[in-house]
Amino acid sequence: MATKKFILAEKDIPQAWYNVIADMPNKPMSPLNPATKSPLAVEDLYPIFAEELCKQELNTSDAWIEIPEEVRDMYKIWRPTPLVRALGLEKALATPAHIYFKNESVSPVGSHKLNSAIPQAYYCKKQGITNITTETGAGQWGAALSLAAKAFGLELAVYMVKVSFHQKPYRRSIMQTFGAQVIASPSMSTKAGRKILTDHPNYQGSLGTAISEAIELAMSTPNCKYTLGSVLNHVSLHQTVIGLEAEKQMEMAGEYPDIVIACFGGGSNFSGISFPFLRHKLKEGKDIRLIAAEPASCPKLTKGIFQYDFGDEAGYTPLLPMYTLGHNFSPANIHAGGLRYHGAGTIVSQLKKDGLLEAVDIEQLDTFKAATLFAQCEGIIPAPESSHAIAATIQEALRAKEEGKEKCILFNLSGHGLIDMAAYDQYLAGDLLNYNLPEEEIAKNIKELEKII
Amino acid sequence: MATKKFILAEKDIPQAWYNVIADMPNKPMSPLNPATKSPLAVEDLYPIFAEELCKQELNTSDAWIEIPEEVRDMYKIWRPTPLVRALGLEKALATPAHIYFKNESVSPVGSHKLNSAIPQAYYCKKQGITNITTETGAGQWGAALSLAAKAFGLELAVYMVKVSFHQKPYRRSIMQTFGAQVIASPSMSTKAGRKILTDHPNYQGSLGTAISEAIELAMSTPNCKYTLGSVLNHVSLHQTVIGLEAEKQMEMAGEYPDIVIACFGGGSNFSGISFPFLRHKLKEGKDIRLIAAEPASCPKLTKGIFQYDFGDEAGYTPLLPMYTLGHNFSPANIHAGGLRYHGAGTIVSQLKKDGLLEAVDIEQLDTFKAATLFAQCEGIIPAPESSHAIAATIQEALRAKEEGKEKCILFNLSGHGLIDMAAYDQYLAGDLLNYNLPEEEIAKNIKELEKII
């Protein structure tokens, strides 16, 4: 176990977020109003999100958006995060590749989610909002938003996907310790929840359903807005602090990554680490591969189709142009709860369509094997989500070895797994399974999509 | 939630540990061989511990002991740790006191314990040892040693106090993920365990019993040594990196603490943060108060007596001059498992006897109340152990407010509570209790002590 850290000073926390849309050759197609099928205007989003976030969401021209001083001040609680050369892992793999990871697990809630939770809570507060709602899968986003809501004095209700509510009770306790209200989704507290519970009484929930419930509560509560932890453009925007810091740190290391890897659920940490590097590919033709690592049981980028679809199960959101498995897709109960989402954000989807990024899908058992090796080499137990990035990194490092090439690989360690130990327990006991997704199930869901547009 | 961090560079990780014994006006009395009652020679310890650690244990003359380069290299995985001005907590308390905390929770296992786990594993490895044993309460020490053992290629067996084994299953999983073997104590695998299980079949274990089992296994296994996470002088020595860094950071902040506070189990994090500051009191007469915060249910410093006693329940250790509740004392099942120990280390005990430090005892519910306030003000959920230090800090900050004095208080945040959320769950549900320790129980145990010497 040997390690080399690259540390920035507080003054190196970025002053602005990077909005990749401004530099994209083909902009993402516009979200559509589901009733009229006409392109969404920024005002159409105001009932759902804080106005400043709506403006960021549809901003296609400004490459840089200033980070408010109050947000930067709160970033200082744990940022800048370290960049680490994974010498232990390199040695274990006997690879000529150089492996670096950006350690976003050092945030007080253990993941990168705080990067967007803070500005979202900040902009809501600034607009005079008093209550916010959200959904959460594994609970990383919910935990981050609970902290941010408390910091800005907002009341928060979190719909937590039922399977994670039971698999990860301690993320629920974290949210409650920060003062949030947590409801297992599907619940009886919304029309969307009641409907799915009536149709499927044992439904274990999905991010899509939890989003429907959180939107419904926000729309029916005075002075209340909805917030989302992934998928949307403004979330990706906020997360670019990861890649912007990593860029400076790679410079300190005297290297530039050939490959940038992150796990993929809706796209928040993937966008965060990769977009700042992508800009040099877009603007200067830099040769760099971006790889999104998704679960084999929820393979929207590798097996989904590009199509307008809803962001939630009940169909409350605008229609988004995305790689999707269909908004009714019910993912298997894998432990990487944060990756159990049917669609990819619109930016990532457009980039994938344009061949500007790649995707791989990883089986659950391979992610835990990679995670355990990483823990024993680097001393950090990774989140099940982040372990997808580690598994993809190991694949690339072994390929580099086969080819005898000294590749430089950078991946994002989006979170630690200290609150996911029940999953490790099952893995160590040999009780974990892979979930092979039948092609027919994908085909069935995708057929449903044809009705949409 | 506002925060101000003071960050050191890697080169500021201390080059040497501080051995306070060299500067003490009255040295601790010598440990005794329990059979002969004569002072222990360093060779008497060789069968139990690595030789270098035995030498450190009995070194009363060298104030500084060099940190091996291999150990400093591994410290770099997470050190230097931040010093943080707790502006949020200050504001919530409306106190004129300035509150700082040293954040040892940022280590990859979430606590300060790695500071000693690494050198202990290192010295064992250097001596050619292949197997080590230890005990753990809440699992913080066991988790740290599991990481260190894996890093140096040692096999590790951990006896984990049974009540914590059940309360904190995920610390067990952490140890197992790093490759350690974990046994609930008391167990049937040792004479000491079998005896206590025969006498008290439902005994939930204590650190004292787990130590007996770990020593017994080490003594009966070839090429195997025992390691301990607290109480002993060499452990306190390794932990002084905390206070040595904090000293430099307080200088960066332009302040000097009037009061240094840490929670107290056997003394490892208390010694670590306070001894470097104590040296200025001993050598330059600096006016500074040191406060050890212990659980009301295990109050060795506030209600125990100073007396030779065993460090373990079965009586395998040397006799140590300590404040103790008696080695047969069976502490209540509080969640701060790391503080459930009958005695205080010999250095701390001598300092307490000489009036060089103070102790307070805190009720369990007060610690969780303090912990929740701290989490909501500073964004970090503290370990139940560390919450004792927070509660004591709040007491002092409120006293400063009453007296209208601008005191400077420094406390050690020894670990985070992300793996202790079951305890927070119980607290939030109103299911947690205080444990009032009957005076007669203390008196009975202390009476037993008279038989010893």
What is the pLDDT tens value at each position of chain A, 453 positions in all? 767 999 999 999 999 999 999 999 999 999 999 999 999 999 999 999 999 999 999 999 999 999 999 999 999 999 999 999 999 999 999 999 999 999 999 999 999 999 999 999 999 999 999 999 999 988 999 999 999 999 999 999 999 999 889 888 889 999 999 999 999 999 999 999 999 999 999 998 888 899 999 999 999 999 999 999 999 999 999 999 999 999 999 999 999 999 999 999 999 999 999 999 999 999 999 999 999 999 999 999 999 999 999 999 889 999 999 999 999 888 888 888 889 899 999 999 999 999 999 999 999 999 999 999 999 999 999 999 999 999 999 999 999 999 999 999 999 999 999 999 999 999 999 988 888 777 888 888 888 887 777
- Mean pLDDT, residues B56-78: 97
Give contacts of B101 with chain A, Cβ < 8 Å: none
Which of B147, B380, B421 faces A173 most closely, judged by CB atoms?
B421
Contact A112, A73 (CB under 8 A): no
CA B140 to chain centre: 10
Beta strands in B97-220 (DSSP E): 98-103, 131-136, 155-161, 181-185
Contact B290, B278 (CB under 8 A): yes
Q: pLDDT at position A2, please?
A: 65
Q: Are residues B77 and A379, on separate chains, in Cβ contact within 8 Å? A: yes
Contact A236, A266 (CB under 8 A): no
Q: What value does the mean pLDDT of chain B take?
A: 95
**Which residue of B12, B77, B83 to mutate against A (max A Cβ within 10 Å)?**
B77
Which of B74, B380, B428 faces A173 most closely, judged by CB atoms?
B428
Give contacts of A108 with chain B, Cβ < 8 Å: 379-381, 416
The predicted complex's ipTM stands at: 0.92
C-alpha distances (whole Å) from B214 to each of A221, B42, B237 are: 58, 20, 22
Q: If you measure CA to CA, which chain A residue comes closest to B114?
A: A379
Distance CA B241, CA B14 (A): 6
**A–B: how many Cβ contacts below 8 A?**
121
CA A254 to chain centre: 29
Contact A197, A186 (CB under 8 A): yes
**Collapsed DSSP state (helix, strand, coil) of residue B415:** strand
Contact A171, A140 (CB under 8 A): yes
The identity of residue A395, as a single letter, is: Q
Give contacts of B106 with chain A, Cβ < 8 Å: 106
CA torsion sign, A311 to A314 to A319 to A324? positive
- Mean pLDDT, residues B194-199: 95
Residue B3, CA atoms < 13 Å, CB-side half-sphere: 29
Distance CA A62, CA A18 (A): 9
Contact B31, B305 (CB under 8 A): no
Give contacts of B151 with chain A, Cβ < 8 Å: 1, 379
- Mean pLDDT, residues B290-313: 95
Which of B173, B178, B376 faces A376 most closely, judged by CB atoms?
B178
Contact B345, B267 (CB under 8 A): yes
Give the pair of three-digit tokens for residue B256. Answer: 């000097």
Q: What pTM value is reported for the model?
A: 0.94
Give the pair of three-digit tokens for residue A124. Answer: 């809501």
Distance CA A410, CA A245 (A): 13
B192 pLDDT higher than 80: yes
Q: pLDDT at position A54, please?
A: 97
Q: If you measure CA to CA, which chain A residue comes closest to B178?
A: A376
Q: Are residues B381 and A108, on separate chains, in Cβ contact within 8 Å? A: yes
Contact B302, B294 (CB under 8 A): yes
Distance CA A86, CA A108 (A): 22
Distance CA B330, CA B209 (A): 10
DSSP state of B21: G
- Domain B67-110+233-449 classified CATH 3.40.50.1100? yes
Which of B73, B74, B376 faces A179 most closely, judged by CB atoms?
B376
Q: Are residues B376 and A9, on separate chains, in Cβ contact within 8 Å? A: no
Closest-CA distance of chain A to residue B82, Å = 9
Which of B173, B176, B421 faces A170 most closely, judged by CB atoms?
B421
Contact A334, A362 (CB under 8 A): no
Q: If you measure CA to CA, which chain A residue comes closest to B416?
A: A108
Closest-CA distance of chain B to residue A380, Å = 5
Q: pLDDT at position B2, please?
A: 65
Which of A1, A74, A419 faces B74 most closely, judged by CB atoms?
A1
Q: What kind of fold does domain A4-13+66-110+234-449 have according to CATH? A: Rossmann fold (3.40.50)
pLDDT tens digits for range B133-158: 999 988 999 999 999 999 999 999 99
Q: For tokens 């320790």, name the residue.
A: B437
Pairing of strands B181-185, B155-161: parallel
**Which residue of A7, A140, A381 to mutate against B (max B Cβ within 10 Å)?**
A381
Give contacts of A171 with chain B, Cβ < 8 Å: 421
Give percent of chain B with pLDDT exceeding 70: 100
Q: Are residues B10 and A7, on separate chains, in Cβ contact within 8 Å? A: yes
Q: Are residues B170 and A372, on separate chains, in Cβ contact within 8 Å? A: no
**Which residue of A78, A113, A177 to mutate against B (max B Cβ within 10 Å)?**
A177
Closest-CA distance of chain B to residue A35, Å = 42
Q: What element of type H or E holds B337?
A: none
- Which of B1 and A426 is assigned the larger pLDDT? A426
| Helix B233-252 and helix B268-284, axial crossing angle in degrees, nearest 10 | 70
Closest-CA distance of chain B to residue A441, Å = 35
Give contacts of B2 with chain A, Cβ < 8 Å: 73-74
- Mean pLDDT, residues B3-27: 96
Give contacts of A179 with chain B, Cβ < 8 Å: 376
Closest CA to B228 of B141, B302, B289, B290: B141
Residues pairing with A306 in the sheet:
A323
Which of A74, A150, A173 faces B424 most closely, judged by CB atoms?
A173
Q: Are residues A421 and B174, on separate chains, in Cβ contact within 8 Å? A: yes
Which of A76, A108, A418 faces B380 most closely, judged by CB atoms?
A108
- Which of B331 and A217 is assigned the larger pLDDT? A217
Q: For tokens 């409306």, name the residue.
A: B94
Query: What phi and psi values does residue A259 have, to the nearest 5 degrees?
Result: -135, 135
Q: pLDDT at position B102, please?
A: 98
